[in-house]
């Protein structure tokens, strides 16, 4: 009689996550027929149906939903055991899966990679850029080891490690360089360029301009800070960007930047990881390197 294996659990978890045999098989680097055989074998072992197979995608049965949650917990525990084995007493080694929000990644990752290369030569960094909610989901489900986001995230299962606080800057066309800096109530009446929904920086900028209940009169959206600044340079409007982005972004467009009036909008950047992570001690050390990567900590 065949027994339930970790392979069954990993394959089923991938299928439950993606909801599609083709996408799950691609992520697992196996063929779709092989995945189908494994799932049929799993259901035979359990003597129950876990998957409802549709023409384009699958859905989980009630038992499948429960089984998926238990499978994720088991797989996370197994992964944690693996992490325990590689911690030792020295620097962190092996793979580190690091998530970073898009309004931080381009301005921090190059410096961080250089620092990690010197301090942790046996560490393989696997960075992933995504919006905050996606990073939280991947972290809680064990697909990431840690993430760099804007705090707070207010997730009971996650530890939050504040790193630094930075201001937002107003970016305007270069022709506006000598004009007075508009107050928040005036800014909310201007053509304001913001990141599209899903980015936490968008919500922070809107909060400074009066909150979502008082949306700017003429709001336009972009997919990245680079896009927003280029649009400002073309004379389309104004935008807010974090301080760390100023050197890279404002040098590539005919724009000027200015500090906003009191109260100045800020955000706190921090690292998050699972409360149960066996890497907590090592991640505290990585957090110090992240601070150094942006000039917010003691020099190495």
Burial 60-97 (b: 16+ CB within 10 A, else e): beeebeebbeebbeebbeeebeebeeebeeeebeeebb
Using DSSP, state whether 279 is helix, strand or coil: coil
Q: Place 99 in a pLDDT band, splitting at 50, 70 and 90.
A: very high
Which CATH number is 21's domain given?
1.10.10.10
185 and 36 both lie in a single domain: no
**To the nearest whole percent, how much of the chain has pLDDT over 70?**
90
Residue 1: inside a domain, yes or no? no
Q: Where are the extended beta strands (E) located within 143-277?
A: 146-151, 158-173, 191-195, 218-222, 238-242, 255-259, 266-274
Measured distance CA(175)–CA(193) in Å, rounded? 17
**pLDDT for residue 213:** 44
CB 153 within 8 A of CB 272: yes
Residue 129: inside a domain, yes or no? yes
Measured distance CA(212)–CA(206) in Å, rounded? 6
109 and 142 both lie in a single domain: yes
Residue 298: inside a domain, yes or no? yes
The residue from 84, 118, 138 where one domain ends is 84
Q: Domain containing 109: what range?
A: 91-300
**pLDDT for residue 299:** 46
66 and 114 both lie in a single domain: no
Which residues are 277's β-sheet partners? none
Q: Is the pLDDT of residue 300 over 50?
A: no
Q: Is the pLDDT of residue 151 over 90?
A: yes
Structural domains of the chain, count? 2
The residue from 84, 113, 147 where one domain ends is 84
Which residues are 172's β-sheet partners? 256
Using DSSP, state whether 81 is helix, strand or coil: helix
Which residues are 100's β-sheet partners? 129, 148
Location of structure tokens 């995230």: 153
The residue from 84, 100, 117 where one domain ends is 84
Measured distance CA(66)–CA(215) in Å, rounded? 42
**pLDDT for residue 87:** 57
- Asked if omega into 154 is within 30° of 0 (cis), the reply is no
CB 238 within 8 A of CB 190: yes
- Tell me the H-state helices in 29-99: 32-46, 62-87
Per residue in 38-72, pLDDT (tens digit) is 999 999 999 999 999 887 788 999 999 999 989 98
Per residue in 224-260, pLDDT (tens digit) is 999 999 999 999 989 999 999 999 999 889 999 998 8
């Amino acid at each position: 009689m065949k027994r339930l294996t970790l392979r069954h659990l990993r394959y089923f978890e991938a299928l439950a996550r993606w909801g599609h045999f083709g996408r799950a098989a691609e992520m697992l680097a196996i063929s779709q027929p092989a995945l189908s055989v494994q799932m049929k074998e799993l259901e035979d072992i359990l003597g129950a149906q876990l998957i409802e197979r549709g023409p384009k995608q699958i859905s989980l049965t009630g038992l499948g939903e429960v089984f998926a949650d238990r499978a994720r917990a088991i797989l996370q525990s197994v992964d944690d055991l693996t992490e325990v084995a590689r911690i030792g007493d020295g620097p962190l080694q092996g793979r580190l899966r690091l998530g970073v929000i898009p309004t931080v990644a381009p301005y921090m990752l190059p410096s961080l990679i250089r620092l990690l290369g010197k301090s942790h030569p046996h560490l393989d960094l696997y960075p992933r850029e995504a919006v905050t909610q996606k990073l939280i989901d991947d972290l809680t489900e064990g697909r990431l080891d840690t993430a760099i986001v804007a705090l707070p995230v207010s997730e009971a299962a996650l530890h939050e490690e504040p790193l630094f606080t930075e201001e937002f800057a107003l970016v305007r066309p270069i022709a506006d360089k000598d004009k007075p800096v508009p107050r928040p109530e005036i800014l909310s009446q201007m053509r304001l360029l913001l990141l599209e929904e899903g980015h936490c920086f968008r919500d922070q900028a809107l909060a400074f301009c009066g909150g979502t209940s008082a949306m700017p009169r003429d709001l336009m959206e972009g997919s990245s800070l680079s896009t927003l600044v280029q649009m400002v340079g073309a004379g389309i409007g104004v935008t807010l960007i974090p301080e760390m982005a100023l050197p890279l972004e404002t040098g590539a467009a005919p724009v000027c930047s200015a500090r906003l009036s009191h109260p100045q909008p800020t955000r706190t950047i921090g690292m998050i990881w699972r409360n149960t992570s066996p890497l907590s001690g090592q991640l505290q050390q990585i957090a110090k390197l992240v601070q150094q990567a942006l000039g917010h900590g003691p020099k190495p």
